Each structure stands twice: as C-alpha cells, then as structure tokens.
Copies of this chain bind each other. A is one copy, B any other.
Amino acid sequence: MPISSFHPPTRILLGPGPSDVSPRILEAMSRPTIGHLDPFFVAMMDEMKSLLQYTFQTQNDLTFSVSAPGSAGMETCFVNLLEPGDKAIVCQNGVFGGRMKENVERCGATPIMIQDSWGKPVDPNKLEETLKIHPDTKVVAFVHAETSTGAQSDVKTLVEIAHRYGCLTIVDTVTSLGGSPVKVDEWKIDAIYSGSQKCLSCTPGLSPVSFSPRAVEKIKTRKTKAQSWFLDLGLVSSYWGGIGKRAYHHTAPINALYGLHEALVILQEEGIEQSWARHDRNHQILKVGLEAMGLSFIVDQPYRLPQLNAIKIPEGIEDATVRTQLLQQYGIEIGAGLGDMAGKIWRVGLMGHSANLRNVLIFLGALEKILSDLGAKIEVGAATKAASLKAAA
C-alpha cells in the first residue's frame, strides 16, 4: 500500500506549545528555497540577528537561532560554558531544571541541585546560601518560565546573586520569550535560549539564543573543546558572523528560518510591549472564566505566567477523558501534566498567535460543556459570560 500525502486536521493549539502558527508564517515558509551561502540569504540572517536582538531586548552581538529545537538551545549553552570538572548550580522547580542537570552531568561537570516545589518560583535565598557553600561554582542555571508548571522566577535577582559570586548565568526562556517580559541586557543574563514554537508562534524546530560579552569571553578562553561539534559556538558563530569572518559550518534550515524571520517581523509590527500586554489581557479573561467554573491555578498569583495556565483537575474528573473530548469534538489541544503533575493538572497555553479572545471563549465554552456532561456541578454558560464581561470591561 503506497503512503499518500499527509493532511493534518485543523486544530486550535492551546497546549504548552506548539501554538497556532499565523498563516503569514506558513506562507513565508513555503517560499522557494535558496542556498545557505546566497548573498540574499546572508542578508536575511543579518536581519534575523537584529530582530532577535529586539526580541531578547539586547545588544549582544552573538545572538542567533540554533538550527534545532529548544533542547538543543539548552545544550548549546551548557556545552559552551561548562568544562569538565566545573561546578554548576541548577535551581530546579519543574521538569526542565531536571533536563539542565542531565546537561551538566554530560559535560563532565558537577551539578549542585537546589530544589523548590513544583509550581513555586526559584527561591533566591537558597541560591545565595548554596553559593556561600560552593563559592567555586562557575555557572548558575535556572528556568525563567517553567513550562511544566506555569511558574515564573525573578531572573534579575537571581542573576544579581550569581554575579556577586562570579558565576555566569544560563536562563531558559523557552516559554516566556515574546509572551512576557524578558530583558537580557537589563537583567544582565549571560546565556539565554528559547524556542520558536511558543510565544513567537513559529513552527517548532529552532532555538533563538543570545550570549553576553562575558559569556563570549569564556567561550574564547576555554581550555577544552566544546564536546559537541554541531553546537560549538566557536564554529557556529562564524557562520552567523558573531565571532570572526563568516564561514560555512552546517547547512542552515533555510525555510524554517524564513518562518522565524516572518514571526519576528510580526512581533516587531505589533511591538513587544503590546505582545506582552495582549498575553496578560487574555490570561486575565481566561482566569475569570475558569474561576467562574470553580477551577483554580496551581501557581500563586504573583508568580503565574499569563501564557501557561496550570489548572487543577477537579476531583472525580478523569484527565484523559476531558483532553480527548476537547481534541476530538472541538479540535482543541491542551497539555497534560508532566512527571509528578501527570493526571493532576491541565496546562492551557495562550501563546503567540493563539492568545486571543476568540480562543479563550471557545475553550471555556467547550470545557464547561464537557465538565458538565461528565457530572461536574457547573452552570453551563457562567464561565463564558464572566469572561465576556471581563473582556468588555
């Protein structure tokens, strides 16, 4: 039986990413492929750098997009800033801190773990205490916006503490970039990575990164080679024109980069502050609706991310039943809990192109119908009404 062309179903992506991709971006990706050394493509890469500098709010020269998903962006930061035998502190408050630990270990470095409860932000006091015990730490790493819980941490304070002890900082902004404030220069972040498929609303597969001059200095003065050839910034950055003369390293994912370029042009047109405000506004409307249904968040209000809403599953309601009905009957995707949170929470993303009033109301309407059908004590219509009133306010 020959296999035929793949035609995806129509979805509304309200999970932890990917988010819905604007037709403008999809169309940009379908433009004719040109060579990765074509002068027109190289000019596009220069524009991409400017657009990413705007998005990251930085002047860092070494700002580009890793040719692979966010996990590879994470690995790029670790393999270039750590050397065997180094100590690195990882502040963990969810799944992705655990992935950071794996990265540290595979670099031949020693991870010092600081644990905070899932759903809580990283505690700056614990970081300071740990640095007092381990003053020879080289790198402090943490997640700004934990995709597994929807909690955000105070980057500026954490970086300030790390710097006081002479450490470089690695910050995961996969879920925050474009959706809530990320200010690389103001917060003095040394190495940062993100993903294309969350609040930038591009297709998955690329990881924007940026490195401070201090991080670049470390990379230039390493005693050992980075353990990955593909992710070695000494080499990759020559292609992106960051360190030295432009030279071939690997073949860039041309059409994916057309897509990211368009996503960033859209963000620039809207204005990054306006994008942050839009994410917050839609979150507030969703919140009112969810609370009208009697649902609650696992993250305390001050640390709640607008773009990723982790909601407690009501007692007596089975996780998978609800998600399956949302997907099959309404074409709506939301996320399950990861790790310890599996079966206990839903993760509702309002990211990038998905963060709009229409989606909030469709989702609330579908959820109240499904929960009510499953026997939950819910007045159908109350959530959408409350949300509509909030939206009109």
Contacts and interface: CB of A to CB of B under 8 A. Distances in A.
Interface in A319-335: 327, 333
A146 interface: no
Interface residues of A, number: 81
A33 B9 contact: no
B333 A35 contact: yes
B3 A50 contact: yes
B33 A203 contact: yes
A2 B268 contact: yes
A71 B229 contact: yes
11 contacts: A2-B268, A3-B51, A6-B262, A26-B33, A36-B204, A39-B327, A72-B72, A195-B251, A197-B251, A203-B256, A248-B338
A41 B18 CA distance: 13
Contact of A29 (B30, B38, B195, B249): B30
Interface in A29-71: 29-36, 38-41, 44, 47, 50-51, 67-71
A286 B99 CA distance: 51
Contacts of A24: 5
Contacts of A262: 5-6
Contacts of A38: 8-9, 11, 327, 333
B10 A36 contact: no
A291 interface: no
A15 interface: yes
A261 B7 CA distance: 11
Contacts of A35: 11, 13, 15, 18, 333
A275 interface: no
Contacts of A2: 265, 268-269
Contacts of A327: 38-39
Given A18-B254, A69-B251, A31 B7 contact: yes
A8 B34 contact: yes
A332 to B, nearest CB: 11
A250 B70 contact: yes
A30 B30 contact: yes
A226 B327 CA distance: 36
A103 B11 CA distance: 41
A256 B205 contact: yes
A71 B19 CA distance: 28
B255 A26 contact: yes
Contacts of A33: 8, 13, 18, 20-21, 26, 197, 203-204
